Amino acid sequence: MSSDTLQQKAMVDAGLLIENAESGKRYDRFRDRVMFPIRDSRGRIIAFGGRVLGDDKPKYLNSPETPVFHKGQELYGLYEARKNNRNLDEIIVVEGYMDVIALAQQGLRNAVATLGTATSEEHLKRLFRVVPNVLFCFDGDQAGRKAAWRALEAALPCLQDGRRARFLFLPEGEDPDTLVRSEGTDAFRARINQHAQPLADYFFQQLTEESDPRSLEGKAHMATLAAPLIEKVPGANLRILMRQRLTEITGLTGEAMSQLVHRAPQEAPPAYDPGIDYDAMPDYSDYHQPQAQELHVPQQEWTPKKPGAGGKKWDKKPWDKNGKRGGDRDQQSAPRTPIAVEAPTLIALRTLIHHPQLAGKVETANHFANESNTYAQLLVALIEALQKNPKLNSIQLMARWHGTDQGRLLKALAEKEWLIDGDNLERQFLDTITRLSAGQHTDTLEALIKKARQPGLTPEEANQIANQMRDLLKRNVAVSNPTSTGA
């Protein structure tokens, strides 16, 4: 094997090149991108981030998982922050590496960012080994607040006494990059000092908004949500103080709190909304926790087009008899592994968790209320809840199924890396809803045809089935060819 071949193989293993599984040809993963080196704690380059110069997607692209690079553990800018100041007191966690760079240019050299993943407990363990204080700085929009709550949950098991976490939310439409450039470094530091919330204050504020403890039922719901989370805090003093605060709000004794903590997770009831007709909602009694293989269905891969070629070249059609598929996508960490995408119902569920306002675009959820599909039942319940209460945010929405299998599914979907292009988000969501509606209509039509073929039907029954089939065919055509933005 030539030295050039060995070098290219090493570059494939490092994620710099992508190899076509069928043809064996290799191409540059980061072509036409500005490169940002990602270093480990010793300053060694272990991966890269790339930003497109034009309008290609995805806008940002990181190296895949490799033997030396694990996204859930590494933090962009941590080596540089420590190199600048070995006696750091606090580190700022922001959402992207462009924010890290912008803050550094303005003299704030203590910022880091995760690499396409939510803030994890591993991230927090690493940070608290370096500094006693962590400041989370997120956008003030819905996505930023959802990311902040996930960061809070990851921070709780790391809060030994003497450690501190704070949260700063920026004005709507601003991020650290734009804000620090417009108002300057001193004003940004002043904003941190004046508006950053201690973790415990943010914790109780969020749960108070969700449970509304002005009623006995609200107090009970808040205790159910808060008590198990407080028990994750290892710092004895902070844990005691948070318990006392919860007692002040709810009036529950320490013994009652202990019972909540030791209650099995599946016994925790979902939040009750008086505005929802629960008798009309699907029954989840037979719902099961999906296995990893259930969450995805295989999708064909693509081969990058040759220079001057028109459009994308599909090596193999989905119906190809040998079952082989060709190509690879930039986002995949293992070039020879087939790409997996979520089933349409799970795509719609995850989209709603990230962008609840899209539920208002759905004309009716009953078109895909498949009684045999638990995912579809959960999707219908989410859409109906959001349409009756459009002000629900993602945290409040997931809290409705807290402690249940449905809640664990929603949390798993919410924590997955978000790769859908925001510019086409609404269109993609409505297209998914349209596909689900058309599929449900087709299934119902097939069931009616099967029923119509059964012997012994009276003329009245046969006529009734024929009318149902005719109406369903009309609706199916309307769904397949929508004329409005509704599903």
Asked if residue 60 and residue 79 are part of one domain, the reply reads no
Q: Which of 186-195, 260-269, 289-298, 355-364 has the lowest mean pLDDT?
A: 289-298
Asked if residue 179 and residue 214 are part of one domain, the reply reads no
382, 359 contact by CB (below 8 A) = yes
What is the arrangement of strands in the sheet containing 164-169, beginning at the earlier edge strand? 111-113, 90-94, 133-138, 164-169, 197-198
- Within 13 Å and on the Cβ side, how many CA atoms surround 390? 7
Domain holding 155, by residue range, is 70-195
The predicted-structure confidence for 43-101, as pLDDT tens digits, reads as follows 999 999 888 887 778 888 888 888 888 888 899 999 999 999 988 999 999 988 889 99
The predicted-structure confidence for 381-435, as pLDDT tens digits, reads as follows 888 778 777 777 777 777 777 767 777 788 877 776 555 555 567 777 777 777 7
- Domain with 281 in it: what CATH number? 1.10.860.10
Asked if residue 285 and residue 136 are part of one domain, the reply reads no
Q: Which of 160-174, 210-224, 247-261, 471-485 has the lowest mean pLDDT?
A: 471-485
271 inside domain: no
Asked if residue 469 and residue 339 are part of one domain, the reply reads yes
Q: How many domains does the chain have?
A: 4
- Domain with 249 in it: what CATH number? 1.20.50
Q: Which of 28-32, 333-337, 366-370, 481-485 has the lowest mean pLDDT?
A: 333-337
| Of 372 and 63, more confident | 63
Asked if residue 112 and residue 31 are part of one domain, the reply reads no
Cis? peptide before 58, omega within 30° of 0: yes
Asked if residue 465 and residue 435 are part of one domain, the reply reads yes
Asked if residue 439 and residue 350 are part of one domain, the reply reads yes
**What is the enclosing helix (H) or strand (E) of 164?**
strand 164-169
Asked if residue 16 and residue 145 are part of one domain, the reply reads no
Task: Please give the angle made by the CA atoms of 408, 368 and 391, to the nearest 5 degrees.
Answer: 55
The predicted-structure confidence for 189-222, as pLDDT tens digits, reads as follows 999 999 999 999 999 999 998 888 888 888 888 8
268, 224 contact by CB (below 8 A) = yes
Q: What is the pLDDT of residue 133?
A: 96
310 inside domain: no
Q: Which two tokens stand for residue 435?
A: 């596909």
Q: What is the pLDDT of residue 283?
A: 36
- Domain with 146 in it: what CATH number? 3.40.1360.10
Asked if residue 30 and residue 3 are part of one domain, the reply reads yes
Asked if residue 430 and residue 293 are part of one domain, the reply reads yes
Asked if residue 152 and residue 42 are part of one domain, the reply reads no
Q: Which of 149, 168, 195 is the last residue of a domain?
A: 195
170 inside domain: yes
216 inside domain: yes
The predicted-structure confidence for 349-369, as pLDDT tens digits, reads as follows 888 888 888 888 877 666 555
237 inside domain: yes
466, 452 contact by CB (below 8 A) = yes
- Within 13 Å and on the Cβ side, how many CA atoms surround 133? 13
Asked if residue 369 and residue 468 are part of one domain, the reply reads yes
374 inside domain: yes
DSSP state, residue 303: B
- Domain with 4 in it: what CATH number? 3.90.980.10
138, 114 contact by CB (below 8 A) = no
pTM summary value:
0.56
Q: How are beta strands 133-138 and 90-94 bridged, if at all? A: parallel
Q: What is the mean pLDDT of the chain?
A: 75
